[in-house]
Copies of this chain bind each other. A is one copy, B any other.
């Protein structure tokens, strides 16, 4: 049991389907207990709660579900930790992003306002709401045409997931709701608003998702050219950036204290993003320490001392990870998702049966069989573009490829080739940073995939770098707790708090020289294919997607069986 005089903090990580609270000791980062609460409504991607249907590519949420996490997960974690809530000196949160809440002046979500419950645009647009692609395309075309300086900070492409595209969609598809909306709020900030009663816009999401660069947003002139009614979007709907990461946003209100069981008046930290808070949890806040949060997709974040244009990065934001440094972000759209695709769609019943008989998952069985192979033995090279390519090509019209198939190709061969392809993809990112003058000095892995030792060893061999592993299994929640400790004044800054509270196992995997050399040869093959299909040598992938869309839209010729 923790000492009665130990100071504690609470970190709350809001994911896509649930929120997780963890109680952490300020002194050393010890995680005393955690609790999870599922969102009642999950992801709304077919209908609203009242049955109103949604279009394809929509993904909404209900803001009250987030508050329920505060009401249930936080008290449960406190209780499980067997601690006195009076020991808690601060709370911090992190969120998926870009996830947007339309609110009234006092922060009430529009879906809770009379008359709006049946309007999809009154709900939270979740990060993976992809129905604003036409608006994103117009933003990109116009920004390129006008030579907007900020475009380069985002690898040349603003995502349909981000604030401006989603806001423009709202305006154009539901003008009355747009007019009724006083604030267009990142959920990362909205939850902080619920905790401390103050709307504080954090530098991280404003920079990465809100096109806030060098202290300013896109101009009124630019917005008016997109749509005259959008001219006032920044001045009317967004707020200036008012919160640096690790700073205090306010103090816990009486109401939020009653939800959480925490003492009224404790420090509430500025909001943050799940991937970005993971860096201090992994003791990776120094320049050149790249953290890869590896799950269904991978997010790479790294601080740098200088501002450089890194081709294909997602974004670079001053103070985007820790104040005073340039925070770089890159990403791979599909990683674990691709392995799951193979297991679901392309592994025969004999494998499923063997896995079941041996009490293994199919992933574990394939990993075991793939692990006995030498580099190059399967004869395959794949491109990991099943979800498109975020970094470094920034092209979601790309698609996956497997080359080298023979009649003796087995599922474990494909599994290993896909793991290798994602490792090659990571190497293109590491090399892009290093070549741009932002060298990657250390590679630190976090996220669910760190549990696969074969995958980690392949990444080490392909990158030719040792790989360190975050020690915490709940990196984002611990990262939030670290931010709470800094905001509460327990440490002078994020770096100091990270050193004391974060934890990493250094160089768990080291490259094998022979395998690394063998992978250099295969990586050269990957790069040839990568550049041929990704940089204009043959735009067949783009054309096949166009054909596919035309067929789905027009059904201009029927199937043989129809």
A residues within 8 Å of B by Cβ? 334, 337-338, 341, 344-349, 352-353, 368, 371-381, 385-387, 399-407, 409-411, 414, 453-454, 457-458, 512, 514-515, 518, 521-522, 525, 528-529, 532-533, 538, 540-541, 543-545, 547-548, 550-552, 555-562
How many Å from the CB of A130 to the closest CB on chain B?
13
Q: Are B411 and A381 in contact (CB under 8 A)?
A: no
- Using A399-B404, A411-B346 as known contacts, say yes or no to A371 and B559 having CB atoms under 8 A apart: yes
How many Å from the CB of A143 to the closest CB on chain B?
28
Q: How far is the CA of A529 from the CA of B558 in the complex (A)?
A: 26
> What are 17 sample pairs from A and B whose C-beta atoms fall under 8 A apart?
A341-B407, A345-B410, A346-B347, A347-B348, A374-B557, A374-B559, A376-B547, A376-B550, A377-B552, A379-B399, A385-B405, A400-B405, A401-B402, A402-B402, A404-B544, A457-B560, A521-B547
Q: Are B544 and A381 in contact (CB under 8 A)?
A: yes
Q: How far is the CA of A251 from the CA of B288 in the complex (A)?
A: 88
Q: Are A547 and B379 in contact (CB under 8 A)?
A: yes
Q: Nearest CB to that of A543 among chain B residues?
A: B525
How many Å from the CB of A538 to the closest CB on chain B?
6
Q: Are A371 and B402 in contact (CB under 8 A)?
A: no
Which residue of B376, B457, B548 contacts A548 across the interface (Cβ within 8 Å)? B376
Q: Oligomeric state, in number of copies?
A: 2
- Using A345-B410, A377-B552 as known contacts, say yes or no to A529 and B525 having CB atoms under 8 A apart: no
- Using A347-B348, A403-B399 as known contacts, say yes or no to A540 and B557 having CB atoms under 8 A apart: no
Q: Which residues of B contact A409 (CB under 8 A)?
A: 341, 345, 386, 400
How many Å from the CB of A364 to the closest CB on chain B?
12
10 interchain residue pairs of minimum CB distance = A400-B405, A371-B561, A349-B349, A514-B557, A376-B547, A346-B346, A379-B548, A372-B559, A401-B403, A372-B561
- Using A399-B406, A560-B454 as known contacts, say yes or no to A540 and B548 having CB atoms under 8 A apart: no
Q: Nearest CB to that of A538 among chain B residues?
A: B528
Q: Nearest CB to that of A455 among chain B residues?
A: B560
Q: Which residues of B contact A401 (CB under 8 A)?
A: 401-405
Q: How far is the CA of A471 from the CA of B414 in the complex (A)?
A: 41
Which of A406, A543, A560 has the most chain B CB within a 10 Å cutoff? A560
Which of A334, A345, A541 has the most chain B CB within a 10 Å cutoff? A345
- Using A386-B405, A402-B402 as known contacts, say yes or no to A345 and B560 having CB atoms under 8 A apart: no
Q: Are A352 and B345 in contact (CB under 8 A)?
A: no
Q: Nearest CB to that of A338 among chain B residues?
A: B407
Q: Nearest CB to that of A545 among chain B residues?
A: B379
- Using A377-B551, A547-B379 as known contacts, say yes or no to A337 and B556 having CB atoms under 8 A apart: no
Q: Nearest CB to that of A377 among chain B residues?
A: B551
Q: How far is the CA of A407 from the CA of B334 in the complex (A)?
A: 9
Q: How far is the CA of A522 from the CA of B529 in the complex (A)?
A: 20
Q: Which residues of B contact A377 (CB under 8 A)?
A: 548, 551-552, 559
Q: Nearest CB to that of A400 among chain B residues?
A: B405
Q: Which residues of B contact A548 (CB under 8 A)?
A: 376-379
Q: Which residues of B contact A373 (CB under 8 A)?
A: 559
Q: Are A381 and B349 in contact (CB under 8 A)?
A: no
Q: How far is the CA of A373 from the CA of B557 in the complex (A)?
A: 9
Q: Nearest CB to that of A388 among chain B residues?
A: B406
